[in-house]
Chain A
């Protein structure tokens, strides 16, 4: 009886020691976690979360500075997955957007390069004083090109 109790207690002690050592020696690297969060984000680089891109937002989420429901293009499913990964409560999305792509009205475009220079994924092609156009398959729908256009020739076309 006594031997049995002692054995179990010893086993529990050893296991506990091992576990506490492992948790201290092998800390979950924050940069890994940032990378994991970044993987879940839609990579539109739209800055609608208030950060300059997906990775900065991921870093802010991990450090606790930002909530997990600030990514409109990711939608509710991204919030859900972030909640699962981080063990936080899934909040409703702060604001929702429909997936869309930017379209340049080519008759109005004056070739000013403003939109080309802000596109985070190089999805706009064009040269100075020549018409610009959007590569539809690469456009993430971030809307960053809409505001800089001096002639308002860019509009967002919903995908569905």
Chain B
């Protein structure tokens, strides 16, 4: 990751040269952030191209936040394009659909790009190349559906947040329904360098994006939607403005925000657009907002209007290690190798492969990993010369100046090194969005975000341990009280027997002997 960050030259001085020319609206203020070089021109030069059906599709059962989906197909079964392969299990999850027709050849672990662990169970489909669609229900007008029914339908489409968080959309909407939501915010900011898939989507499919927004507004019964785009995407802005004029929907408002990383973060965007701060550990719904990525909106349109579940997505293939950078629409499950080969293969210096952008992406060791719903970018870069050795913190405070969440990264760094979970909690580590701004400005080249990620994991581990201990304790105490009451019952029974025996006089004994005699005679 460090090697890659070096390719994004940046620093405080770049942040101080604003170049906003187009009018911006009444924007809230975002603390910190960085003005990063976009590197987006190369991948936006040509239109989105469709990757052909690959020979094999690899579909992980976990492509979302929550519990893994449960496969409903067996090995050897023939499946059609859009057919349900795995249904959500547990409270939080999303289904997985077949991206093309073919037969299931295996359900086995396969390398995937994930933060933890390298292999995950995948459904592997051998494609027949015919791409026969699975016939879904008849057309119905979504406006006639009750919001609940519409949400249930969105859940069936396997739609998750395509901005990168992959939170199941239907559940996010259901959660938000318990609050009073005023504004839907469509996130077309895409502030991370190199990534341009949302930009291209807005340019080419503005109508579908806005239609998705209308469906969302109907599902949530909201009367206001801000479509927010960064100022470095004039083509997307123009295309959206044109589509809005054609739609003539007064609820839709186009907003332009200055190009500052990470204004596309959910909480940051809410602050920027509405000037309301999302509380610590809270959600945008706490301040009456619902944020959805533009790609998610288009996917909702494709499912509700076009009856196609989320089986493909637009992704950016970019970086110095790519011969022809471009945006492609690929089926979920196509391997990175197939996609790169389609775009024209690797360039001479293809040293590092990243899934996601340079700031928040993840390095992967093999291009056998499949494209999943979260993959917004495939980035291949050359190895850079070693630019900085990690030095001691000099307490310059640059990290605090750029932190968009207004944390104090240098303090957090000390406490993370000292493994002091209480102080980390006090200093708000939980609110760190891992944007990487502090890493980039640190003159001592300290990998702050990596430290924070580890510290977060440790805090989670400790919390889990505590929960386990509490459960064990409850069970132990329950067992003790049960054993005590059993013991008491035994003692009481014994006491009763003794009392009866003591009460017994000669008459009782004679009666007992009489009874026994009768019994013997009966036998």
A interface list, Cβ under 8 A from B: 41-45, 53-54, 120-123, 138, 140
Contacts and interface: CB of A to CB of B under 8 A. Distances in A.
The secondary structure that dominates the A interface is loop
A58 B473 CA distance: 13
B476 A42 contact: no
B477 to A, nearest CB: 9
9 contacts: A43-B469, A43-B476, A44-B472, A121-B476, A122-B478, A122-B479, A138-B471, A138-B475, A140-B468
Interface residues of B, number: 11
Interface of B: 465, 468-473, 475-476, 478-479
Given A120-B476, A122-B478, 11 more contacts: A41-B469, A43-B468, A43-B470, A44-B472, A53-B476, A121-B472, A121-B475, A121-B476, A122-B475, A122-B479, A138-B475
A121 B478 CA distance: 8
A54 B475 CA distance: 13
Contacts, number: 32
A140 B478 contact: no
Nearest to B462: A77
Contacts of B473: 43, 54
Contacts of B471: 138
Contact of A45 (B465, B468, B470, B472): B472
A41 B466 CA distance: 9
B479 A120 contact: yes
A142 to B, nearest CB: 9
A79 B471 CA distance: 21
Contacts of B478: 122
A19 B479 CA distance: 44
A84 B375 CA distance: 45
Nearest to A42: B469
A130 to B, nearest CB: 21
A74 to B, nearest CB: 9
Nearest to B477: A55
A123 B478 CA distance: 12
B465 A42 contact: yes
A140 B478 CA distance: 16
A113 to B, nearest CB: 14
A122 B469 CA distance: 14
B319 to A, nearest CB: 36
A43 B472 contact: yes
A41 B470 CA distance: 10
A122 B481 CA distance: 12
Contacts of A53: 476
A45 B474 CA distance: 11
B417 to A, nearest CB: 15
Nearest to B469: A43
B116 to A, nearest CB: 14
A88 B448 CA distance: 33
Contacts of A120: 476, 479
A54 B477 CA distance: 11
Contacts of B472: 42-45, 121, 138, 140
A86 to B, nearest CB: 17
A117 to B, nearest CB: 10
Nearest to A135: B475
Nearest to A139: B472
